[in-house]
Structure 1
Amino acid sequence: MTTPAVPAPARMPALYLSHGAPPLADDPLWPAELAAWSAELPRPRAILMVSAHWEEAPLALGATERAPLVYDFWGFPEHYYRVRYDAPGAPELAASVRALLRAPGTPVQDIADRGLDHGAYVPLVEMYPQADVPVLQVSLPTLDPARLMDLGRRLAPLRDEGVLIVGSGFFTHNLAALRHPGVPGWSAEFDAWGGEALAARDVDALLDFETKSPAGRLAHPRTEHFAPLFVTLGAAGSDLDAQSTPVDGFWMGLSKRSVQFG
């Protein structure tokens, strides 16, 4: 008897999403936007998450078995610290990442007890609430946009193995400069510029966003929340032309623009 062929996994898109603080889960709009987005995606075999909230060099792989979440925020109501997201670990994905990144001068470390931080689990709770897709989080080993683009390119083959690569940050992020209700000018200006640069596939401008964008240094006084975009852009490759913006608008004055390639 002939064994039926196992279908090849669908090539997954590459995502950049604005993950938000834990209270975004209580927003009347954002959870539904993420749920609708994930419903339109092919079913991933695993998720590779790069969050703004884990900087570690050399590049580190987080837990490959279930581990407690990292509640990396302070001063919030108690119920935010009771959230659980018990997604399976992804040891096979970790092995693939090691294989893709293995090269002289490119060490990869394991931090076996490092669970998902809020940049990873807060959006995943809304996108995959059953917590039934294996997840691996890796660190940001640098904030240099060009080096992160290269990292994304090296990880891109995972997309053909059914892996959803997600860069998780926030399209504008300067909590100290939020003085009044509404959207501050620097946030609106940077969001508009960034949306136009993405639509024009102007990667060079995005790489040099601190000097080429209006209010770039105000929108990102420290660049860790924009940095995951460059991993996504590198992983997107030729799919830069297959681009959509499933989430846009603002939350507490910050741009929650989120982009899909492929």
Structure 2
Amino acid sequence: MTTAAERMPALYLSHGAPPLADDPVWPRELAAWSADLPRPTAILMVSAHWEEAPLALSATTTVPLVYDFWGFPERYYQVRYGAPGAPALADSVRKLLRGAGMPVQDVPDRGLDHGAYVPLKEMFPDADIPVLQISLPTLDPRKLLEVGRRLAPLRDEGVLIVGSGFFTHNLAALRQEGLPSWSVEFDDWGNRALLDQDIDALLDFEHKAPAGRLAHPRTEHFAPLFVTLGAAEDDLGSGRSVIDGFWMGLAKRSVQYG
């Protein structure tokens, strides 16, 4: 892969549902964020919406998107994001992970899911940067941290590594008007843990965070953060929240390292 002149940051973003495009604020925040980034040679996405083991690589050619949601107006199923595939990036991922003894598989017909294309459409609307999505091979934060560490060298090749989840995510508990206390408490705790670089606390968030199990009854939307943290291990002191606040009661905190 072509070496970039500038090392790319590593990101964790709260990706939103398909109606994110209709929000009056959030799309502008994502667009402003991407405008401040160096231009990537390629983008590596780790989405909460693809769990498969062993770790899987999505299509390296442009294939149809995965509309992995139900009950929305038809227009959300008409969205297109025809980014080029990233076969060179896929080769690099295979070498890095297999060299570390981590098995990798290919799923050549798997398109980008909404955890990938929804934010990318706001951040890089021209869809002219190659994108590769990889699966979450586990929900174990420690193992995902190691995956991120192994992928970290890609940042020096101009690859933007993006963990895409949601900083709080419990749709079943969104029954009240206003901000749910569990979402606010977890967001505050998580922000402080990130600022303090307290990786041990974050790894054990289900037990150490207030309302940890309420904020994340399953780990999948917090799990991509650990891939990002692993990829950013040398840059943890540079971490900052680029987007914060709430959307439909869920914390949309999104962070950048480097």
Report the TM-score when normalising by structure 2: 0.98
Matched-pair contact (CA < 8 Å) for 1:17–1:167: yes
CA distance in 1, matches of 2:240, 2:12: 11
Q: RMSD between aligned alpha carbons? A: 1.1
SS in 2 for 1:113: coil
In the other structure, the counterpart of 2:217 is 221
- Per-residue CA deviations over 1:200-249 (Å, capped at 9, x if unaligned) read 01000000000000000000000100000000000001100011111000
Matched-pair contact (CA < 8 Å) for 1:61–1:138: yes
Report the TM-score when normalising by structure 1: 0.96
Residue from 38, 42, 48 that aligns with 1:52: 48
Give the C-alpha shift of residue 143 in structure 1: 0.3
Structure 1: which amino acid aligns with 2:228? Answer: T
In the other structure, the counterpart of 2:104 is 108
Give the C-alpha shift of residue 171 in structure 1: 0.2
Matched-pair contact (CA < 8 Å) for 2:4–2:41: no
The aligned runs of 1:78-227 (5 Å cut-off) are: 78-103=74-99, 105-227=101-223
Give the C-alpha shift of residue 181 in structure 1: 1.9
Matched-pair contact (CA < 8 Å) for 2:3–2:156: no
Matched-pair contact (CA < 8 Å) for 1:181–1:252: no
Residue from 26, 30, 38 that aligns with 1:30: 26
SS in 1 for 2:176: coil
SS in 2 for 1:36: helix
Structure 2: which amino acid aligns with 1:48? Answer: L
CA distance in 2, matches of 1:8, 1:212: 39
CA distance in 1, matches of 2:224, 2:77: 25
Structure 2: which amino acid aligns with 1:67? Answer: V
CA distance in 2, matches of 1:200, 1:107: 33
CA distance in 1, matches of 2:106, 2:192: 38
Q: Is there any run of 5+ residues in structure 2 with no aligned partner, and where? A: none
CA distance in 1, matches of 2:100, 2:185: 42
Structure 1: which amino acid aligns with 2:170? Answer: N
Give the C-alpha shift of residue 9 in structure 1: 3.1
CA distance in 1, matches of 2:76, 2:94: 33
SS in 1 for 2:220: helix
CA distance in 2, matches of 1:45, 1:187: 36
CA distance in 2, matches of 1:96, 1:191: 35
CA distance in 2, matches of 1:167, 1:104: 21
- Per-residue CA deviations over 1:152-199 (Å, capped at 9, x if unaligned) read 000000000000000000000000000112110000000000000001
In the other structure, the counterpart of 1:3 is none
CA distance in 1, matches of 2:240, 2:83: 27
- Per-residue CA deviations over 1:37-90 (Å, capped at 9, x if unaligned) read 000000000000000000000000000000000000000000000000000000
CA distance in 2, matches of 1:130, 1:56: 29
Give the C-alpha shift of residue 105 in structure 1: 4.8
Matched-pair contact (CA < 8 Å) for 1:59–1:139: yes
Cα–Cα, structure 1 residues 256 and 8, in superposed 2: closer, same or farther, change >3 Å?
Answer: closer
Give the C-alpha shift of residue 104 in structure 1: 7.2
In the other structure, the counterpart of 2:71 is 75
Structure 2: which amino acid aligns with 1:112? Answer: P
* Number of equivalenced pairs: 257
SS in 2 for 1:153: helix
- Per-residue CA deviations over 1:93-142 (Å, capped at 9, x if unaligned) read 00000000114752110000000000000000000000000000000000
Q: Is there any run of 5+ residues in structure 1 with no aligned partner, and where? A: 1-5
CA distance in 1, matches of 2:3, 2:91: 22
Cα–Cα, structure 1 residues 170 and 150, in superposed 2: closer, same or farther, change >3 Å?
Answer: same
